[in-house]
Amino acid sequence: MKKLICWFRCDLRTHDNPALYNAAKEGLVLPIYILDGASLNERPIGCASKVWLHHSLVDLNKKLANNLIVRKGNPIDILAELVNFHKIDNIYWNRCYEPWQVDRDKKIKKIFEDKNIKVKSYNASLLWEPWNILKNDGTPYKVFTPFYRKGCLGNDEPRIPLPKPEGISYVKNNNSTNIRDLKLLPEIQWNKKFDKYWNIGEDAAYKRLDDFLESGLKGYKEGRNFPYKDNTSCLSPYLHFGEISPNYIWHKVISQENKGYIQDIDHFCSELGWREFSYYLLYHFPYLPKQNLNRNFDIFPWREDKIILKLWQRGKTGVPIVDAGMRQLWEMGYMHNRMRMIVGSFLVKNLLLHWKYGEKWFWDCLVDADLANNSASWQWIAGCGADAAPYFRIFNPVTQGQKFDPEGIYTRKFVPELKNLPNEYLFNPWEAPEHILTKAGINLGIDYPRPIVNLKESRDRALISFASLKNKTP
């Protein structure tokens, strides 16, 4: 029988895994995960993501009957070693889309095809390949709605998910797998707090989807804006690590149409579309993580203030809804999407700090840190990305809190110092009369910080700074 390497990357699952499915059909499978040494130089994996990756690999290894090989280093050398030792015929993998990964995979494919080793790649991470969605003139879209409604929905429907291969036969391998050798878990076990919030792995991903379909999809279009409600799927980390495929999610959600909440289903699918758009932008504009898509922003007068940045990172800005979001991130390795927009707007517009600082902090702290989503979203909120938020859209964190957390459920959970403050002043404690603060047991500046910036003055300053870019070129 043929011997085939199935190289796992961001596809840590057995269901709807085209590379694994096709390898299992054709012969004996040698499954491997490589912690790419080159990627560590390109963009080191964030601390929270390392924790998730560790547990996801443990789960995958169990699914593969403890046959998963894990290595750390240069994939070219590691694959070559395995090919020679095991007399491998074919190498299969599912495609990755980060620029350095695309370049790496092209080199690897040529090296092995020159040695008459068949190399085949598949799409397991996206609903539509980015090179298949183009405008009539052959150029890429830069606005989401026509990209999704015309480009994606006007194309072929996402493929039907593949089943888990039955009865996988494995290449005999005497190397024992020790995922701990990858040293993904921190020495100081701060990661234990994640156990309260997350179950990690393929089965957990399917359960999370089922729970969302049962209790979160109905009312999703409006409910997703309220951070204390259960209308968000929380599937993003599972999608990033490939513990569940977007195709499976898409078809499972579409199958709920007979229940009647068509608008909620359409809106959820459009959010999958936003994920596609982020990968699409990264593919067509590979400089997205490092450079402004709108090059006018290259001359934007960003501030530099490490002290202010640190207070934002730690959730000590003195602006309750912002602090709640940043503390949720620190506690859970996750932040509600509405909150991501609020804290992002506060950083780049009220504080006038470069979006790269927010992107870098999210990259390190999020369990769903994803280069495409992270880069595209931060450029969107900063106004320099594709289909970006206009410069004059500056979220008022007080009114955002009042509107989307009216009873203070979310804010009091993550900013417990303010739990006794009445709703009237929960989002603007600096305006509360002294007797109200005293009754709530709050001494501003001691029990809870005063705002690090005046919201009105900082908004006016941002409008002037952003407006200064008009008709200017770098």
CATH number at 269 reads 1.25.40.80
Question: Are 296 and 469 a contacting pair, CB within 8 Å?
Answer: yes
Question: Are 368 and 232 a contacting pair, CB within 8 Å?
Answer: no
Pick the last residue of a domain from 251, 284, 317.
284
Q: Does residue 175 form part of some domain?
A: no
pLDDT digits (tens, 9 = 90+) for 339-361: 999 999 999 999 999 999 999 99
Residues 388 and 451 in one domain: yes
Residues 212 and 248 in one domain: yes
Q: Does residue 233 form part of some domain?
A: yes
**Region label for 387, one of left (φ > 0), alpha (ψ between -120 and 50) or beta (otherwise):** left
Q: How far apart are CA 210 and CA 215, in angstroms?
A: 9
| Bridge partners for 170 per DSSP | 29
Question: Which residue range(s) make up the domain with 21?
Answer: 2-124
Residues 300 and 228 in one domain: no
Q: Does residue 191 form part of some domain?
A: no
Contacts 24+ apart (CB under 8 A), 43-46: 43/98, 43/100, 43/289, 43/363, 43/371, 45/184, 46/363, 46/364, 46/365, 46/366, 46/369
Residue 279: which residues within 8 A CB-CB, separation 6 or more? Answer: 97, 125, 126, 130, 372
Report the number of distinct structural domains present in the chain. Answer: 3
Q: Does residue 182 form part of some domain?
A: no
Question: Are 370 and 333 a contacting pair, CB within 8 Å?
Answer: no
CA distances from 10 to 7, 138, 238, 320, 456 (A): 10, 29, 10, 36, 44
Output the six-digit token pair for 156: 């072929």
CA distances from 254 to 141, 211, 217, 260, 270 (A): 25, 16, 11, 11, 12
Q: What is the pLDDT of residue 38?
A: 65
Residues 47 and 63 in one domain: yes
Residue 326: which residues within 8 A CB-CB, separation 6 or more? Answer: 312, 313, 314, 315, 317, 335, 343
Q: What is the pLDDT of residue 31?
A: 97
**376, 348, 223: which is closest to 287 by C-alpha?**
376
Q: What is the pLDDT of residue 176?
A: 72
**Region label for 198, one of left (φ > 0), alpha (ψ between -120 and 50) or beta (otherwise):** beta
Q: 432-462 as b/e, with b when 16 or more CB fall inside 10 Å?
A: beeebbeebebeeeeebbebbbebeebbebb
Q: Does residue 15 form part of some domain?
A: yes
Residues 230 and 347 in one domain: no
Residues 156 and 214 in one domain: yes
Q: How far apart are CA 162 and CA 361, in angstroms?
A: 36
DSSP 138: S
Pick the last residue of a domain from 284, 307, 332.
284
Q: 328-337 as b/e, with b when 16 or more CB fall inside 10 Å?
A: bbbbbbbbbe
Q: What is the pLDDT of residue 469?
A: 83
Residues 17 and 114 in one domain: yes
Q: Does residue 209 form part of some domain?
A: yes
φ, ψ dihedrals at 118, nearest 5°: -70, 130
Q: How far apart are CA 440 and CA 425, in angstroms?
A: 11
Single-letter amino acid code for the residue at 369: A
Q: Does residue 197 form part of some domain?
A: no
Output the six-digit token pair for 384: 């320099």
Residues 133 and 15 in one domain: no
Residue ranges of the chain with per-residue pLDDT less than 70: 38-41, 389, 471-474
Residues 342 and 462 in one domain: yes
Residues 215 and 339 in one domain: no
Question: Are 322 and 395 a contacting pair, CB within 8 Å?
Answer: no
Pick the last residue of a domain from 236, 260, 284.
284
